[in-house]
């Protein structure tokens, strides 16, 4: 039996590759397995190579595997591009329709299975993916019934005949593969799982669900990869709780509408990627100056310009911190798992209202679209904090006096009212203003308001700004990352530990304001600090140098080819740096 299974299906976009992976992973999830899936896809609607790689095991997994046990190929390109990942025990199942050819240096056995032919005989070639699922069941020694509930859920609305036909396709694929494998049936069986029910979701779904739990009732957004699923999820769910989603004409409108809705007292937000974030910069400044809450989800992708819209990158950090003109306080949160994305989203809304400023939830494409097993969320942990939002104001001593919306308080946070509160009238403007919001260019007022706004950051309430695994007081190396690199780093460090190396891990979850004291303490316990990030210039490493120092200790492992880190890559690079 295998401790871990790595399974990949590939072909041309538009021929059911995503649904094949979805059906397989859903069934394995319902058996209680932990899974991590990542899709490679092109930035076009149809055509171009795509694949879905899924890791399955009975214990927790949060990273893409280095290698591959089973490759299901619907075209020759899938074999040519992916065969090098196959293990010594690896196998290729290829559709006989395209007359698959085995590369000269490929040692894995290739089985030409008539996926399309069998599906056509059963009624439609579209069911070739179900035949492939059946062939996979043979390799894993799974009963066809394992897929019954998934097939019912996906095809049930099309009628019982369609459900039955798809189950027949699975059964036939299983039967044919049994004949081809002979005594090797079940050779890729995975150690049994515990059967426990767990969720299986992408990071975008976790963010959207977190927004719902936080009390969001309005979202304004413009579709963009890889953020669109957040909007799509809430288009279905928000109306059920009296909320709404508006697809705006652009990201400028989305950000300003979110500000306006928050000004009206409705928890609101928007989500985008790098190009959209660039358009939102002036609105972020408006949020900072008017001290209105604004929550933005930035799902990083390859840039600049349109760049690599469907590929992994982590190059928006400097834009997050320094993209706006002028100086405003802001908070940047960077969850590293789907579970953190859920809870951190709730924290983001609380912080935005408590401190009355823009909060950016920073994710990346791998976290946004990678699908992972998640334990059921604990809704008892959900806490709604609205800060100094007041629903009544005492009558002013002077008739027609304005409310001091921007009062210079000790903690930098002023009382906040929503429109309609009696005696709460005040000015709201993007220019510098006094305590009542009236425009003012007086130097003393400018200094007082700037100092007031920045005092807010001293009061931030964010739990666990750094996820840390620090087993060693005198580590050889501290490996630092952010967002989705956490899983690959964790697995790489386990391997290095098994080789006798003393390694610690720090995953930065609060980018700004940077957790200086926590990072200083972690860096002091290591001889060398290695920062792992998906960008060219080492943006997180530079932020650490600016805030913490340690230039002589810090080095980087950078990857900027559009693909996520694999555990083996980090393992190899860390070993090289420690020689």
**Bridge partners of 557?**
532
Q: What is the mean pLDDT of each run of 10 residues along the chain (579 residues)?
A: 96 89 96 96 80 97 95 97 95 97 95 97 95 97 96 94 96 97 93 95 98 98 98 98 98 98 98 98 98 98 96 97 96 98 98 98 98 96 96 86 96 96 95 97 98 97 96 96 98 96 98 98 97 98 97 97 97 93
DSSP 3-state of 483: coil
Measured between alpha carbons, how far apart are the two ends of the chain, in Å?
36
Instruction: Name the helix (H) or strand (E) containing 357.
Output: none
pLDDT at position 396: 85
pLDDT at position 414: 98
Q: How far apart are CA 206 and CA 230, in angstroms?
A: 9
**Bridge partners of 270?**
296
Structure tokens at 538: 């080492």
Q: Are 529 and 353 in contact (CB under 8 A)?
A: no
Q: How far apart are CA 90 and CA 77, in angstroms?
A: 18
Q: How far apart are CA 422 and CA 415, in angstroms?
A: 14
Exposed, middle or buried by CB within 10 Å (0-12, 13-18, 19+), for 522? Answer: buried
Q: How far apart are CA 287 and CA 260, in angstroms?
A: 10
Q: What is the pTM of this model?
A: 0.96
Q: Are 91 and 107 in contact (CB under 8 A)?
A: no
List, edge to edge, every strand of the sheet that includes 110-113.
Answer: 110-113, 86-95, 68-73, 4-12, 49-57, 34-40, 371-374, 199-202
C-alpha distances in angstroms, 191 versus 54, 69, 563?
16, 14, 29
Q: Are 363 and 203 in contact (CB under 8 A)?
A: yes
Q: How far apart are CA 16 and CA 202, in angstroms?
A: 19
Q: Which residue has the tokens 């019954």?
A: 148
Q: How far apart are CA 98 and CA 80, in angstroms?
A: 13
**Bridge partners of 460?**
none
Rg (CA), the chain: 26
Q: Are 297 and 271 in contact (CB under 8 A)?
A: yes
Q: How far apart are CA 372 and CA 487, in angstroms?
A: 11
Q: Which residue has the tokens 């990627």?
A: 273
pLDDT at position 127: 95
């Amino acid at each position: 039996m295998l401790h871990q299974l790595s399974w990949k299906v590939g072909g041309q976009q538009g021929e059911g590759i995503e649904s094949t992976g979805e059906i397989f992973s859903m069934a394995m999830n319902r058996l209680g397995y932990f899974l991590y899936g990542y899709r490679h896809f092109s930035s076009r609607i149809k055509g171009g190579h795509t694949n879905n790689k899924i890791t399955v095991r009975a214990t927790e997994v949060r990273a893409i595997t280095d290698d591959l046990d089973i490759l299901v190929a619907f075209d020759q390109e899938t074999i040519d591009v992916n065969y090098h990942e196959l293990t010594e025990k690896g196998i290729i199942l290829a559709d006989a329709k395209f007359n698959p050819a085995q590369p000269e240096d490929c040692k894995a056995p290739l089985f030409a299975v008539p996926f399309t032919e069998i599906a056509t005989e059963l009624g439609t070639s579209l069911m070739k993916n179900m035949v492939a699922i059946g062939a996979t069941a043979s390799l894993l020694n799974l009963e066809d019934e394992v897929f019954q509930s998934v097939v019912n859920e996906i095809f049930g609305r099309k009628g019982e005949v369609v459900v039955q036909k798809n189950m027949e396709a699975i059964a036939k694929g299983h039967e044919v593969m049994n004949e081809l494998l002979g005594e090797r049936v079940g050779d890729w069986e995975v150690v049994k799982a515990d059967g426990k029910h767990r969720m299986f979701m992408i990071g975008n779904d976790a963010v959207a669900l977190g927004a719902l739990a936080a009390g969001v009732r309005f979202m304004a957004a413009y579709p963009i990869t890889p953020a669109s699923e957040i909007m799509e999820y809430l288009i279905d769910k928000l109306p059920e709780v009296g909320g709404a989603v508006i697809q705006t004409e652009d990201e400028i409108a989305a950000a300003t509408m979110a500000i306006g809705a928050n000004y009206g007292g409705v928890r609101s937000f928007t989500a985008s990627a790098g190009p959209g974030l660039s358009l939102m910069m002036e609105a972020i400044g408006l949020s900072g100056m008017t001290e209105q809450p604004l929550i933005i989800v930035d799902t990083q992708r390859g840039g600049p310009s349109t760049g690599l819209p469907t590929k992994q990158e982590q190059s928006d950090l400097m834009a997050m911190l320094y993209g706006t003109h002028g100086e405003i306080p802001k908070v940047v949160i960077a969850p590293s798992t789907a579970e953190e994305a859920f809870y951190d989203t709730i924290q983001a809304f609380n912080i935005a209202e408590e401190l009355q400023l823009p909060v950016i939830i920073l994710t990346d494409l791998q976290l946004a679209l990678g699908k992972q097993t998640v334990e059921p969320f604990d809704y008892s942990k959900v806490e709604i904090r609205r800060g100094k939002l007041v629903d009544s104001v005492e009558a002013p001593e002077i008739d027609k006096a304005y409310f001091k919306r921007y009062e210079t308080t000790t903690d930098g946070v002023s009382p906040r009212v929503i429109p309609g509160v009696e005696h709460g009238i005040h000015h709201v403007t993007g220019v510098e203003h006094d305590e009542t919001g009236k425009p003012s260019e007086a130097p003393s007022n400018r200094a007082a308001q700037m100092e007031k706004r920045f005092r807010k950051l001293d009061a931030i309430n964010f739990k666990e700004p750094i996820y840390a695994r620090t087993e060693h007081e005198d580590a050889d190396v501290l490996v630092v990352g952010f967002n989705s690199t956490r899983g690959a780093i964790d697995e790489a460090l386990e391997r290095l530990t098994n080789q006798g190396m003393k390694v610690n891990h720090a995953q930065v979850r609060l980018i700004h304001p940077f957790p200086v004291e926590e990072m200083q303490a972690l860096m002091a316990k290591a001889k060398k600090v290695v920062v792992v990030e998906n960008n060219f210039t080492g943006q997180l490493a530079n932020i650490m140098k600016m805030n913490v120092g340690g230039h002589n200790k810090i080095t980087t492992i950078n990857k900027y080819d559009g693909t996520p880190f694999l555990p083996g890559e980090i393992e190899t690079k860390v070993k090289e740096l420690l020689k």
